[in-house]
Amino acid sequence: MKHKIRQLLKQSLDQLVEGGDLELAMLPAQIPVEHPRRAGQGDYASGIALGLARVSGQKPRDLAGKIQAALPAAPFVESTEIAGPGFINFFVAEQALIEVVSEVLDERDKYGTKVIENPHKVLLEYVSANPTGPLHVGHGRGAAFGDTLARLLRSAGHQVDTEYYVNDIGRQMDILGVSVCMRYLELEGQTAIVPQGVYQGMYVRDIAARFKRRHGREIELGEVPRFEVDGGTLDEVVDSLIRQVRDWLGEAQFEMIRSFALADMVEVIRADLEAIGVVHDSWFFESQVTKSGELEEAINDLEKNGFLYRSGGARWFQSSEFGDEKDRVLTRSNGELTYFASDIAYHLNKLRRGHDYVINIWGADHHGYIARMKAAMQAAGENAERLRIYLVQFAALYRGKQKIPMSTRAGEFVSLAELVDEIGQDATRFFYVLRKPDQHLDFDLELAKSVSNENPVYYVQYAHARICSVFRQMSERGIVRSTGRNLPGRAEQVELNLIRRISKFPEVIESAAQALEPHQIAYYLRDLSTDFHSFYNRVRILDGEPPLRDFRLNLIEAVQQVLANGLEILGVSAPETM
């Protein structure tokens, strides 16, 4: 409907250009059409005349009048008016609104979808937390956001592939391996040490226990040494411990434990995600780019293009050439590659798979990496514009007023799994997505638990369940709807409000998808639910005269459908009873 209004305005403007009242160059790329805030100002309004007034040297209201006069007639427009400083308000014909109900009932779960004019093929990477511990509440936000975004974009008509990038090699995995070794020792009745810097959480014991069950017989502990952990910085102690454990167990046995821990951890994470309905299309392991040689190729590309140099025994990438604030190390002076190096190879891999855009959802703590990653893509000869990186702000966890620190290494965190256990998948997802991504999120556990019955998600679900209930009643009373969809007489205000809201659903999907803002859907559903609950309280649907009754049944069925479509995007269930 919005597009149709815009179309009318465009035709009018074109005519004025032809008549010499306006010049083509003055026209904006997109003609503004909005919903007036106040009732009585029409269904749609455009401030186009206000914008054009200055550049064309005409008074806004005069110009608005010319535009209005040149508007082509359209059956769905009841009337137009010039209002305020020069707005053109559009009043939609009641009949056109009523037809929206039919439209929803014809299109069903397709209503509101495929609203994008030129669909893209998109690769969306999100979560990608290191497999060194279960997901915590902070990761949950990225997971809920990313998954909802994927659903939203698909719904709007884009083609989306989702991926999880796993850092499966490097020091962190060694530390995880050592941590599991220590807990395994404990299970064998030996004395183990778990100094600071080694993963402390209970989940490490669980991994060790599963390892023992599966592979306990294959491990030869031999003489367990006394581990030296004195002196040096935290990092030095940890590195020394890794060496000691490797020497003691031998590379083969250590690798066995390390790789088991990795696989086990990945499974835990996969299960954590599944518990809130998040499933990635693919999982990409960092080791893939090393084994395939892509890592070397990537570095060669940069070298060939002349953006690498050596200094202080390390190999640097000239990211400052592309707007980064300083150059970055690719190969450390000890010969090891940084994670940045394999990240470059991975992102080149993604950009070369044939998507229009590659979208990354990163935690806000990674914002310093955007410039260097885009720099690397450019240096390697790719169009960095195709890589879109979006940040999701942190979720800080509170228990009442008490802030809960979150550290995987220290084992202090509230896991996502615990959260979902306590407040459920639907409430968890809705809570996360209710905030726009660039807003800090204070997740108060006490509150989330105590107000769980007042969570907006139940308000929306309740609307859906209530409608289901009306249809159950209808069956019980043996009521059979006629197939006609006309409304006898005039619609009431509550009905029109509801229909207007339904008619906006496609616009909301378009807007939310365009802005990558899933929260718009959540707020829309809440508003739709409000309109429905109002309507429900105002009229007795089943007690009306058959023609009116049947129209209202169609109306709430349309509401039910839109609620279901919207909840599907959020990954929240649409229950039939509550």
Q: Which of residues 177-206 bind RNA (CB under 7 A)?
A: none
Judged by CB under 7 A, the residue of 147, 163, 517, 550 near RNA is: 517
In the complex, the smallest distance separating the C-beta of residue 386 from RNA, rounded to whole angstroms, is 19
Q: Cα–Cα–Cα angle for 99, 151, 386, nearest 5°?
A: 115
* DSSP state letters, 19-55: TTSS-GGGS-SS---B--SSTTS-SEEE-HHHHHHHH
H or E stretch at 360 = strand 357-363
Q: Which of residues 316-355 bind RNA (CB under 7 A)?
A: 325, 328-329, 332-334, 336, 338-340
In the complex, the smallest distance separating the C-beta of residue 219 from RNA, rounded to whole angstroms, is 26
Judged by CB under 7 A, the residue of 10, 35, 59, 291 near RNA is: 35
Judged by CB under 7 A, the residue of 103, 228, 235, 255 near RNA is: 235
Judged by CB under 7 A, the residue of 12, 58, 128, 130 near RNA is: 130
- SS3 assignment, position 444: strand
In the complex, the smallest distance separating the C-beta of residue 371 from RNA, rounded to whole angstroms, is 8
Handedness of CA 200, 202, 203, 207 (dihedral sign): positive
**132, 172 Cβ separation under 8 angstroms:** yes
In the complex, the smallest distance separating the C-beta of residue 354 from RNA, rounded to whole angstroms, is 26
10 Å CB burial of residue 24 (0-12, 13-18, 19+) is exposed
Judged by CB under 7 A, the residue of 51, 112, 133, 277 near RNA is: 51
**What order do you get walking across the sheet with 402-404 strand by strand?**
402-404, 395-399, 441-444
Judged by CB under 7 A, the residue of 38, 213, 226, 401 near RNA is: 38
- Site string (381-420) toward RNA, x via CB under 7 A: ----------x-xx-x------------------------
Q: Which of residues 519-548 bind RNA (CB under 7 A)?
A: 519-520, 523, 526, 529-530, 533-534, 536-543
**150, 280 Cβ separation under 8 angstroms:** no
Q: Which is nearer to RNA, 386 or 436 (CB)?
A: 436
| Window of 13-21, 95-103, 151-159, 309-317 that interacts with RNA by CB under 7 A | 309-317
H or E stretch at 348 = helix 339-351
Decide if residue 283 touches RNA (CB under 7 A): no
Q: Which is nearer to RNA, 281 or 412 (CB)?
A: 412
Distance of CA 124 to the CA centre of its chain: 10
Q: Which is nearer to RNA, 192 or 468 (CB)?
A: 468
Judged by CB under 7 A, the residue of 69, 193, 279, 451 near RNA is: 451
Judged by CB under 7 A, the residue of 281, 367, 412, 488 near RNA is: 367
Burial 439-462 (b: 16+ CB within 10 A, else e): eebebbbebbeeeeeebbbbebbe
**140, 419 Cβ separation under 8 angstroms:** yes
Neighbouring residues of 490: CB distance < 8 A, sequence distance ≥ 6? 94
**342, 299 Cβ separation under 8 angstroms:** no
Q: Which of residues 73-112 bind RNA (CB under 7 A)?
A: 83-85, 87, 89
Judged by CB under 7 A, the residue of 11, 15, 68, 511 near RNA is: 511
- Tokens 């005349």: give the residue: 49
Q: Which is nearer to RNA, 218 or 543 (CB)?
A: 543
In the complex, the smallest distance separating the C-beta of residue 284 from RNA, rounded to whole angstroms, is 15
Q: Which is nearer to RNA, 185 or 258 (CB)?
A: 258
- Residue 479 has which token pair? 């009521």
Judged by CB under 7 A, the residue of 3, 18, 19, 32 near RNA is: 32
Q: Identity (one letter) of the amino acid at 207?
A: I
Number of residues engaging RNA in binding (CB under 7 A): 95
In the complex, the smallest distance separating the C-beta of residue 34 from RNA, rounded to whole angstroms, is 4
Query: Cα separation of 384 and 386, whole Å?
Result: 5
Judged by CB under 7 A, the residue of 274, 281, 442, 446 near RNA is: 442
In the complex, the smallest distance separating the C-beta of residue 187 from RNA, rounded to whole angstroms, is 27
In the complex, the smallest distance separating the C-beta of residue 289 from RNA, rounded to whole angstroms, is 14
Going by C-alpha positions, the residue among 328, 308, 381 that lies closest to residue 351 is 381
In the complex, the smallest distance separating the C-beta of residue 53 from RNA, rounded to whole angstroms, is 6
Judged by CB under 7 A, the residue of 254, 458, 505, 551 near RNA is: 458
In the complex, the smallest distance separating the C-beta of residue 540 from RNA, rounded to whole angstroms, is 5
Decide if residue 292 touches RNA (CB under 7 A): no
Strands (E) located in 217-264 = none
Structure-derived torsion over alpha carbons of residues 410, 415, 418, 422, reported in degrees to the nearest 10 = 110
Handedness of CA 101, 103, 108, 112 (dihedral sign): negative
Q: Identity (one letter) of the amino acid at 289?
A: V
Query: Cα separation of 177 and 184, whole Å?
Result: 10
**427, 452 Cβ separation under 8 angstroms:** yes
Q: Which is nearer to RNA, 185 or 554 (CB)?
A: 554
- SS3 assignment, position 160: strand
Q: Which of residues 461-500 bind RNA (CB under 7 A)?
A: 462, 465-466, 468-470, 472-473
Q: Which is nearer to RNA, 217 or 477 (CB)?
A: 477
